Structure 1
Amino acid sequence: MERNQIVSLLQYGHTAVSKLLFDYYAKIGLNETQMMILLHIHRFIEDGYPFPTPSELSERVSLTESECTELLRSLIKNDYLEMQKNQDDSQVMYETYSLSPLFKRIIQEQYSEPEPDKDFNQEGELYEIFEQEFSRPLSPMECETINVWLDQDKYKTELIKTALHEAVLAGKLNLRYIDRILHEWHKNGVRTPKEAKDYGEKFRKHQTGKTISKEKEKPPQYPNINWLDES
């Protein structure tokens, strides 16, 4: 390569792109194709041409004009890109693209505080509740069982508390019984305390109905009378 060609390449220019775009585009829901379109729009804006057409974008990427049109619509609809109307000194209206929505979303993502993990905060309380109901300290094996529910089975702490409540109502305060309750709920798609409560009520109604049905099936009981005893 000749020296003049090298100089020409160096003078071609550079586009300044914030590192935030590279660090956060995936976190705010953009894929690589969408990101590349936005980078090209950024380049057009820097070059003083703020409203490239789908055809002009298609010439720079491996997408058809119609695909670029759909991408632009999607980016505007999902608040990554904005079309702005402007007016020049001659009162002529013209449109431009703005990447302000994109950077707003990145800033929101960067400074948003994660919601506190309620389950994490409640785990310590969970062991205390079990010990209160059992009226004794938990054994190491019992603690390990609760750990398995939380870490491996991924049961929510509120659901475990609800299962404990069901065991208290049934008068069966042991972890094997509670484990069967949790397994039964999981098998039947029960994931929240409200769903567990509804499921428990349906189950109890069903059991009551079976008991009444069995009682109706019993033959009538007569007093044990000795008909020969006439005295």
Structure 2
Amino acid sequence: MSRFTIYQDNYADTTIVSNLFIDEYMKDANDAQIKIYLYLLRMMSAHKATSVSDIADKFNHTEKDVMRALKYWEKNNLLALEYNEDRTLCGIRLLDVTSRSENDVLPLTKIVSMPVTVSKKDIAGRSITEEPAVRTAAETADPFAKPSYSLDELKEFKNNEETSQIIFVAEQYIGRPLTAPEMKTILFFSDRLHFSADLIDYLFQYCVEKGKRDFRYIEKVAISWAQEGISTPAQAARYAAKYDKNVYDIMKALGKSSIPTKAEADYAMKWVREYGFTSDIIMEACERTVLATDKHRFEYADSILKSWHENHVKHKADIRTMDEAHSRKPAAKTAPRNGQFNQFMHTDYDFDTLEKEILSN
């Protein structure tokens, strides 16, 4: 079939979208973020002013949703938000991405010729607050660092109708009134991580269902989701499904209570899916690992399970057969070990050498 050309008769009423935006930025954004950015381009092309409330009305979003989308694009250096002295949003600068490669970070001083203006009266008297003017160097360098919010910022957050509902929902999940630091953590989810109310709701539901009500744990989960670019409950559910019950059972068996890292989860899922080991065999390897070392336990357990996989272990009886074969070998010239460790560590490889190798890496 022959190729065809796409064209139109009149280019006068058009909005130009950078190919870089389509190729590199659009795939990671949600529907609301894409709609709002394209609408800003359209308004700029027409030299028209708009407002947060106008955008919210047009797309049936809340003003909070609009601000969250604007901050998302600001974080990605596609626009810059401008504020007046009382920290009210008064303008939007769309940044030039046409000369940017995918690894470039464009300075905020390079702008397109026409800013999109938002006046105070357009925001219906609401004060839209950006991040506090003073940030530490660590907060500036790390986009997932929790800022030191002021009491005024917390008060504004609590007094907003939508965000006060988020606090109420969180209190229902936690089962008690929240402290000021805990409310600042929820402000962090909304303000810095750009979580929607629905995603924050799902975050608390997810953690509480796991029996975790500690805010430090909840914050770690939230940051891990943000680092993965998660912006909806559906995305969070798919992400959480990757770390199924097997992963957390293995974490517990190896003496770990933290959120599994990607490397730890990859190890666990390899043992289950690639090696095809049942839970009892994996738990046996974990038990031997805990008795042998308190460092690099995933690497240590992986060496055990890799050996069993190579020796076609399918049942615990196969492990006993390997142990018995090992016990019939001539004793090593080194002094034997006493105690429980020596009773468990019967395999066809040298765990002392293995541990030294792992610890040296």
Which structure shows the higher helix fraction? 1
Computing the radius of gyration from Cα coordinates, the structure with the larger value is 1
- TM-score, normalization by structure 1: 0.44
TM norm structure 2:
0.29
Bigger RCO (CA 8 Å, 6+ sep): 1
